[in-house]
Amino acid sequence: MRVLITGRHGQVSRELQLSLAQHELLVLGHDQLDLADSAEIRRQVRELRPDLLINAAAHTAVDQAESEAELAFAINATAPGVLAEEAASLNVPLIHYSTDYVFDGSKPAPYHESDTTAPLGVYGQSKLAGEEAIRAIGGQHLILRTSWVYSLHGKNFLLTMQRLLQEREELRVVADQIGAPTWAGSIAQATAQLVQHWQDGRPGNWGTYHLTGLGETSWFGFAEAIAAQLRAQGKPSARLLPIASSEYPTPAKRPLNSRLDCSRLQQEWDIRLVDWHDALLTCLSSPR
């Protein structure tokens, strides 16, 4: 099967290239495909004629998006709609990744797929617009909302904490934002299961689903887990201090509650998700 994956060096894309290695992968990085160029997207898809499209690329710089909204919307909103149109014209599915940032975080419980969206900033607004563009096309698609993605590559909380915990004596980390750290490898493995179910002729319903690590913690709790692993390896680790979001202002406001209820994905597609603690250990023990 020919699988077109947008993004080459992104966290999820790198893991997808491992989990879907048995297929013919057509992986297009920014040098091969500029997602801000709709005409180029159409040309590439029509030329390559894949059996499945996976959009693993996005403008993910949350704070930077506040000052470059036009680019964020081009990549996160317009491009997914164009990909959905091209997928529908080929009569093939599109898998697209979205985010907890489509919600404002004011709900006291985990978010369901049907809950009202209310993004707080440009990044969330552009990702929500991308979702809406895909749904408007009406073709076969899976929109997978995830949260707090990390891996051993790129820029993410895990790698930043590993560095800072070993460089400093004391580290202040936000403790009032709650969510589920999600290893990019878990996202890729779940995606591979979804693809297999579809190939086997036993798919669930197309649509929007939540896909994160199981369980919940704060950024402070995530940092504590990372610090514990450093100490277990005999490495230095800073003393951690919990702080409120108000003590760490950023250009883009973050949702305080990023918890996503993933039960629908498990029920309708028989996807077995992994506890975030276990996924962290698997990630840390995997080859770079």
pLDDT value at 19 more than 90: yes
Q: What is the pLDDT of residues 192-230, one digit of tens each?
A: 999 999 999 887 899 999 999 999 999 999 999 999 999
Catalytic residues: 123
Is the whole model's pTM more than 0.75, yes or no?
yes
Domains in the chain, ordered, with CATH?
A: 2-149+182-214+259-274 (3.40.50.720)
Which residues touch 233 (CB under 8 Å, ≥6 apart)?
none
pLDDT tens string 105-114: 999 999 999 9
CA-to-CA separations, 77 to 65, 123, 226, 277, in angstroms, rounded: 13, 10, 34, 32
pLDDT tens-digit readout, 114-153 = 999 999 999 999 999 999 999 999 889 999 999 999 999 9
Supply angle C-alpha 180, 181, 183, rounded to 5: 130
Q: What does the alpha-carbon distance between residue 96 and residue 40 come to, in Å, rounded to a whole number?
A: 19
Q: Give the integer Cα–Cα distance in Å for 11 and 98.
A: 14
